[in-house]
Structure 1
Amino acid sequence: MQRLAQIPRPDWPAQVEALGLSFHSIGGIPYWDEGVAYSFSPREIETLETAANELQALALTAAEGIIKRGDYARFGIPEAAIPLIEASWEADEAGFYGRFDFHFDGVTPPKLLEYNADTPTSLLEAAVVQWDWLEAVHPGRDQFNWIHEALIEAWGSLKLPAGPLAFSSLNDSEDQATLFYLMETATQAGLAPEFVPIPKIGWDGRSFVDLHDRPIASLFKLYPWEWLVTEPFAAYIPQGATRWIEPAWKLLLTGKGLLVALWDLAPGHPNLLPAAFTPEAIPSPRVRKPLWGREGANVRLERPGEADLALAGPFEHQPMVWQSRSSLPCFDGNYPVLGVWTVDSEACGLCIREDVLPITGNSSRFVPHFIEG
Structure 2
Amino acid sequence: MKRHCIDPRPGWQQIVEEQGVVYPLTRCPDGSLRPYWDESAYYSFTLPEVEALEEAVEELHALCLGAAAHIVEQNRFADLGITDPGLAALVAESWRRRAELPSIYGRFDLRYDGTGPAKMLEYNADTPTSLVEAASAQWFWMEERFPDGDQWNSLHERLVAAWKRQSALLPPGPVHFVHSDADELGEDLMTVAYLRETAEQAGLATEALSVEEIGWDRLSGRFVDERLRFIRSCFKLYPWEWLATDRFGPYVRDTLDNGGGTGTTCWIEPAWKMLLSNKALLAILWELHPGHPNLLPAYLDGPRELAEARGYVAKPLLGREGAGVTVHEPGDAPVVRDEACCYQELAPLPDFDGNHVVLGAWVVEDGAAGLGIRESAGLVTDEYARFLPHVIL
Same fold per superposition (TM over 0.5): yes
Q: CA–CA distance in 2 between the matches of 1:260 and 1:139?
A: 43
Instruction: Letter of the 1:57 partner, please give it.
Output: A
Letter in 1 for 2:275: L
CA displacement at 1:54 relative to structure 2: 0.3
Residue equivalent to 1:221:
236
Q: Distance in 2 between matches of 1:157 and 1:261?
A: 31
Q: Which residue of 2 aligns with 1:91?
A: 97
Q: Are the counterparts in 2 of residues 24 and 31 from structure 1 also a CA contact under 8 Å?
A: yes
CA RMSD of aligned residues (A): 1.6
Query: Secondary structure at 2:351's aligned position in 1?
Result: coil
Q: Which residue of 2 aligns with 1:266?
A: 289
The corresponding residue for 1:203 is 216
Distance 1:124 1:78, change over 3 A: farther
Give the superposition deviation at 1:44.
0.8
TM-score, with structure 1 as normaliser: 0.94
For 2:165 and 2:74, the matched residues in 1 are separated by 29
- Residue 278 of structure 2 is matched in structure 1 by 255
Amino acid at match of 1:222: L
2:365 maps to 1:344: yes
| Deviation, structure 1 residue 327 | 1.7
TM-superposed deviation, 1:78: 4.7
Letter in 1 for 2:340: P
Q: 1:190 aligns with which of 203, 208, 229?
A: 203
In structure 1, the gaps of 5 or more residues are 309-315
Equivalent positions of 1:306-321 (< 5 A) are 318-321=339-342
Structure 1's 351 and 282: CA in aligned 2 closer, same or farther, altered over 3 A? Answer: farther
- The equivalent of 2:11 in structure 1 is 11
Identity of aligned residues (%): 48
Contact 1:151/1:343, CA 8 A, preserved across alignment: yes
From 258, 267, 284, the counterpart of 1:244: 267
TM-score, structure 2 as length reference: 0.90
Residue ranges of structure 2 left out of the alignment (5+ in a row): 28-32, 256-263
Question: Is residue 120 of structure 2 the alignment partner of residue 138 of structure 1?
Answer: no
Query: Deviation above 3 Å: which 4+ runs of structure 1?
Result: 304-308
Inter-partner Cα distance in structure 2 for 1:115 and 1:280 = 20
- 1:335-367 CA deviation, whole Å, 9 max, x = no partner? 000010001121110000000101111100000
What's the counterpart of residue 30 of structure 2?
none
Amino acid at match of 1:274: P
Would the alpha carbon gap of residues 71 and 140 (structure 1) be closer, same or farther in structure 2, given more than 3 Å must change? same
- The question of whether the paired residues in 1 share the 8 Å contact of 2:50 and 2:152 is answered with yes
CA shift for structure 1 position 282: 3.9
Q: CA deviation at 1:162?
A: 1.1
Q: Distance in 1 between matches of 2:180 and 2:274?
A: 19
